[in-house]
Every structure is written in C-alpha cells, then in structure tokens.
Amino acid sequence: MQRAAALVRRGCCPRTPGPWGRRQSSAAAEASAVLKVRPERSRRERILTLESMNPQVKAVEYAVRGPIVLKAGEIELELQRGIKKPFTEVIRANIGDAQAMGQQPITFLRQVMALCTYPNLLDSPSFPEDAKKRARRILQACGGNSLGSYSASQGVNCIREDVAAYITRRDGGVPADPDNIYLTTGASDGISTILKILVSGGGKSRTGVMIPIPQYPLYSAVISELDAVQVNYYLDEENCWALNVNELRRAVQEAKDHCDPKVLCIINPGNPTGQVQSRKCIEDVIHFAWEEKLFLLADEVYQDNVYSPDCRFHSFKKVLYEMGPEYSSNVELASFHSTSKGYMGECGYRGGYMEVINLHPEIKGQLVKLLSVRLCPPVSGQAAMDIVVNPPVPGEESFELFHREKESVLGNLAKKAKLTEDLFNQVPGIHCNPLQGAMYAFPRIFIPSKAVEAAQAHKMAPDMFYCMKLLEETGICVVPGSGFGQREGTYHFRYLCLFVPGGWSQVCLGKWTCYHRTQAGCRD
C-alpha cells in the first residue's frame, strides 16, 4: 500500500492488471486499482535499437548463416506443413557440418566421451580397455575427477600435453611445448581471442589484418567487431586459388597508406577455396611475414582433409622451424585446429586448440587473463580434442575399428570431392578448380547479364539472387560468393561436398542443368 502510494506520488506510470493478475502482489494489485482509470500509454521507444546499438557489431556480416539460411529454414517449415515444392527436402550444403549430413561419429571417440560423462560405465564389460584407459587419464586430470568441474583457463594439463605430443609427431619431431597450447571453444574462439589481443590504435595506426579473398567470414566478422582494418589479398583463381607473395606485397604496401598492417591470416587447406598450399608457398609466406614484421595466424583446421594425391599438408610451424633459427626464434605464429572437421566432424562439442610460437611471455600472461574471464573452454570439447590427438595405436584393442572408420570417412570425402568437381565442370556456365583439400567447392558461375539485371531489380547481389533461386527451385542451400569475397565482376558460391551418396549426384546434376536452362532464358 505504502509502495503503491509512493509510486502515485512520484507520478509513476499506470499499472493495470496483466493477464497474470491473480498472481500479482497485493501492492501491485492495489496500485493497479488506483491507477487503472488512466489510458494505457503507447509503447515507448526502445533503448536498444539499430540506431543506438554498437555500430561495429551492426557492421558484422556472416553469410554462412545469413539470409539464405534463414530462407532455407522457412522452406523446411513449409515442406513440413505440406506445401508442395519441386523437391522434398532442403540439402544444407551451406556449412561444414558432417554429422548433420549423416556422417557417423568415430566409435572410439564417443566411447571415451561416454565413459568420461558417466564413469559408472568404467565397470561395464561392453567398453574396450583402451577407451577406459583414455577416459581414466582425462578424468584424473579434471578437478574432482569430473567433466563437470572448471578446467584451468588454458585447458586441462594432460590434454595440452597430448596436443603437444601430437604436434611433435605430426611435424616429424619439431618439438611442441604444452605451455604454448591453449585449448579453445572450437577454432573460432582461438582466432577471435588472439585477434582481440592484437588489435590496437586509432586512425592511421589502426591494426590492419590481412586476410585472403575469398575468406572464411569469421575473419571479416571479428575484424569488424574489433574495429580493425580488413586488408584483402586475392587468391589466384586462374592458378587453382594459389597464394602469390607478390599479391601479399601489393596488399601490404597499399594498406600502409591508411593503417598499420600487423597480422597476416592464412587458411590452409583453403576455406572456401579447397586449395592446399605447397611447401614453397608456405616458405615464401613465412619469409614475407618475417620481412614485413607480421604476426602470422595459420588456420589449419582442415589439416586432415587433403584429397589430391599431388598435395600434402605442411604445417606452418614445421616449415618455420625448418627455415632455421632466424625464423623459428623470431616469427610470431598462432596456429589453430579443431574437433569439427577432419574425419571426426565433431562440430557440436566446440573443441579446438591454438599453438603459439614466439609469443612474448608477458603476452602469454595477458592471454591467460583474458581467457580466464570466460573461465574455461567446455571440458567435454577438451576431452574430444584429446581423443582426436591421442587416437588408438596399432596393438590397441580399438585400433582396427578406429582405423577402418577413419579411412572410410576420409575416403568418402575424397570421392565426394572428386565427384563434386566433375559434376560442376559438366554444367555449362560453371567452372570449378580442382578440389585438393578441405570440404568445399567454390565454383565460379557465369551469370548472364539479363540475370544480373534481374538481380539488381530485386536489390540483390547477382550471386545471392542465383543462390536464392537455386534454393527455391531445387532445395539446395549454398552460400553466395559475396559472403566470402570475390574479385569484382566474378560470381561464385560455396558448396559443401558432403551430399548424400547413392544417385543424388545425378539428381543434382539434373537440377543444376535444368537451372542453367532456366537462366539461359535470360541470356542476351
């Protein structure tokens, strides 16, 4: 009563009974009774609006889950409601989400995870001993022997040791130090965290971050969030999306006019472009970074996904060390890996790691401090990362099954990559570079000028218009090239090479051709 009266005295707004009037406090109810004669006021202006919000966040773009994906969701709902379409399901080829496309998890990984989750199963005879051994090792390193405890901000110690041992094996003996390993919430988290520490300055001394075009749009999004300057270098489509150091030179020189280029990001194997860098190219890039004093970010999440027999994955870390001490003790490098890609495809667990080389000790302290604000990466994701880097070895009970599953997934991916490439190259108006690695095709599409005009009439980029039509007419959801960046006047889309096997490719080819016939109607 006192409260209600006070509100009235203060000239407070009317409080009429809501639909939950029965549960209103007596004070609120009384206030309502006193005040309900006044007309209800109209809704006030919001505090948080497009105008008032953080402009850097507003500027963020992320096409992989952008308007085309929202449209795909709407079409799926329409199909569920029985609305007739020229297709019966939406094929979500917009994102590298292997298990959503039917890829089965690696049995050993899930067995260890289940044992860690519910340790009563450690007594069950239906789990192999090597899986139990892994689970015990992980649990012993967790507070209270539980995945439910926070880990150290940098990640569980023994998992960082396993990651370091893996890198050492992978790189043929170049040693890795667990102190340089930071477990992360997927690779995206590591990339955005290190960029967050790196950016500084205002005006002409704002940090410039060099990224490939086409790029994976996490980079442009984080650069925008951090108000850094995006410095584009173009991959050479005519040359199988190779990275040319002369193009890096051009880009950095031009950037110096308006910002302070400080970071060079490399994606190898390439996303969305599917190329695998040669050892020589990596040497050139490292030398360039050394020369130009650039901090190197090597996004190597597709390191297990190399399909072309002519290509091999070389880690930046290994090449850096092989180039000798001037490089290996000077070039600052952060490289990233993830549980989401490779043969595991465990995207949902959000596991990943970052290895840093030549990071200043004081910066390591800053990094741990920054990471500690979010407490720790998901411990289940850390456990998944452990199994990725510490799989069964010959002689262990689970080795044979693990090996068979791994080879089957990678073999299928290689076959599908080849199929996809061939398929696209059979369609008039599409050109696809050889798919050497990663999981995507980024074919070029030649859009007739009348179709470009039609797109402009719809206020859409021509490739967005193309992808939207493709989705509406065939149910195939792909991401327009403009979401990744492309040379002015060229058009592409990114397509996940994980389509359901068994004749689907032929259906797909039929649809593409059909679609191109439709487009042909717009030809000059």
Provide the strand spans (E) within 194-270. 207-213, 229-234, 260-267
Alpha-carbon torsion, ordered 201, 485, 494, 461, to 10 deg: 130
CB of 258 to its own copies, least distance (A): 19
Identify the residue among 3, 250, 458, 523 touching its own copies (CB under 8 A): 3
Structure tokens at 181: 């390993």
Nearer to its own copies, 334 or 451 (CB): 334
CB of 197 to its own copies, least distance (A): 5
CB of 450 to its own copies, least distance (A): 32
Structure tokens at 78: 């329409």
**Residues near its own copies (CB under 8 A), total:** 134
Does 308 interact with its own copies (rule: CB under 8 A)? no
Identify the residue among 49, 80, 88, 140 touching its own copies (CB under 8 A): 49
Q: Do 36 and 14 contact (CB within 8 A), yes or no?
A: yes
Cα 182 from Cα 441, distance rounded (Å): 31
Nearer to its own copies, 371 or 427 (CB): 371
Burial class (CB in 10 A: 0-12, 13-18, 19+), 356: buried
Site string for its own copies, 207-226 (x = CB under 8 A): ----------xx--xx--xx
CB of 86 to its own copies, least distance (A): 23
The region of 4-12, 230-238, 450-458, 467-475 touching its own copies under the rule CB under 8 A is 4-12
Q: Do 190 and 182 contact (CB within 8 A), yes or no?
A: yes
Does 408 interact with its own copies (rule: CB under 8 A)? no
CB of 385 to its own copies, least distance (A): 12
Q: How many residues does the chain have?
A: 524
Does 501 interact with its own copies (rule: CB under 8 A)? no
Q: Do 262 and 295 contact (CB within 8 A), yes or no?
A: yes
Does 385 interact with its own copies (rule: CB under 8 A)? no
CB of 451 to its own copies, least distance (A): 28
Does 363 interact with its own copies (rule: CB under 8 A)? yes
Q: What one-letter code names the amino acid at 422?
A: D
Nearer to its own copies, 331 or 447 (CB): 331
The region of 82-90, 268-276, 366-374, 485-493 touching its own copies under the rule CB under 8 A is 366-374
Nearest partner of 385 among 407, 353, 342, judged by Cα? 353
Nearer to its own copies, 461 or 509 (CB): 461
3-state secondary structure of 59: coil
Q: How far is CA 227 from the centre of its chain?
A: 20
Site string for its own copies, 84-123 (x = CB under 8 A): -----------x-xxxxxxx-x----xx-xx--xx--x--
Site for its own copies in 5-24 (CB under 8 A): 7, 10, 12-18, 20, 23-24
Cα 156 from Cα 139, distance rounded (Å): 10
Site for its own copies in 125-184 (CB under 8 A): 126, 142-144, 146-151, 153, 172-174
DSSP letters spanning 405-470: HHHHHHHHHHHHHHHHHHHHHHSTTEE-----BSSEE--EE---HHHHHHHHHTTS-HHHHHHHHH
Q: What one-letter code names the amino acid at 29?
A: A
Q: Reply yes or no: is the peptide bond before residue 217 cis, omega within 30 of 0.
A: no
CB of 448 to its own copies, least distance (A): 32
Nearer to its own copies, 23 or 81 (CB): 23
Cα 63 from Cα 282, distance rounded (Å): 28
Does 253 interact with its own copies (rule: CB under 8 A)? no
The answer to whether the Cα torsion of 220, 222, 227, 228 is positive or negative is: negative
CB of 172 to its own copies, least distance (A): 5
DSSP letters spanning 279-319: HHHHHHHHHHHHHHT-EEEEE-TTTT-B--TT-----HHHH
Q: What is the CA radius of gyration of the chain?
A: 27
Identify the residue among 65, 258, 404, 523 touching its own copies (CB under 8 A): 65
Does 404 interact with its own copies (rule: CB under 8 A)? no
Nearer to its own copies, 363 or 522 (CB): 363
Cα 36 from Cα 78, distance rounded (Å): 43
Site for its own copies in 468-487 (CB under 8 A): none
CB of 149 to its own copies, least distance (A): 4
Site for its own copies in 318-357 (CB under 8 A): 318, 321-330, 332, 344-350
Nearer to its own copies, 61 or 400 (CB): 61
Count of Cβ atoms closer than 10 Å to residue 395 Cβ: 7
Phi/psi class of residue 310: alpha, beta or left (left: φ > 0; alpha: ψ in -120 to 50)?
alpha
Q: Do 229 and 256 contact (CB within 8 A), yes or no?
A: no
Identify the residue among 9, 44, 81, 84 touching its own copies (CB under 8 A): 44
Residue that is written with structure tokens 């850097």 in the block:
56
The region of 159-167, 278-286, 430-438, 453-461 touching its own copies under the rule CB under 8 A is 278-286
Identify the residue among 1, 55, 422, 523 touching its own copies (CB under 8 A): 55
Site for its own copies in 185-204 (CB under 8 A): 185-186, 188-189, 192, 196-200
Does 452 interact with its own copies (rule: CB under 8 A)? no
Does 370 interact with its own copies (rule: CB under 8 A)? yes
Nearer to its own copies, 123 or 488 (CB): 123
Which residues, listed in sequence order, are joined to residue 183 by a DSSP beta bridge?
Answer: 353
